[in-house]
A = this chain, B = another copy of it.
Amino acid sequence: MPAKEVTESIATLKTASKNEPIAKFLGMKLVELKPGYAKITMKLKPEYQNFNGYVFGGVIVAVADHAFAYGSNSVAYPSVATQFNINFINAAGPEDTLTAECNVLRSGKRAGVSEITVKNQTGKLIAKATGVTVRV
């Protein structure tokens, strides 16, 4: 997108993030947003544990997917995800605070590709993901 549109998208997204239902529900916070980059934090809760006592994989996906949504929309608004792949590298503990960072690798007229990392408060790598978005 032209630079002016990117600036407008970022302003729109920052405003939208303040009242986003799922972000409130899960406790995810947009802490940085610039063209092609987004950073999200999420304080985990005991409710996020699964039957093994681990943090549910879907919660780790959530923070990664949230960074992915903001990062990809910053340069191609509005876009939706069509595909998402994640590798779980290290387990997260129920007391951790996770930080997800999304970098857009490619943003084309029709589709884009992004890369996302999830780390805990000590910088340990929890997961790496990639995803494809499509303009709508």
Contact = CB atoms under 8 A, between A and B. Distances in A.
Interface in A62-84: 62-63, 65-66, 69, 78, 80-84
B113 A134 contact: no
A135 interface: yes
B69 A50 contact: yes
Contact of A83 (B22, B65, B113): B113
Q: Is the interface of A mostly helix, strand, loop or mixed?
A: mixed
Interface residues of A, number: 54
A125 B105 contact: yes
A58 B66 contact: yes
A6 interface: no
Contact of A62 (B13, B62, B113): B62
A22 B87 contact: no
A89 interface: yes
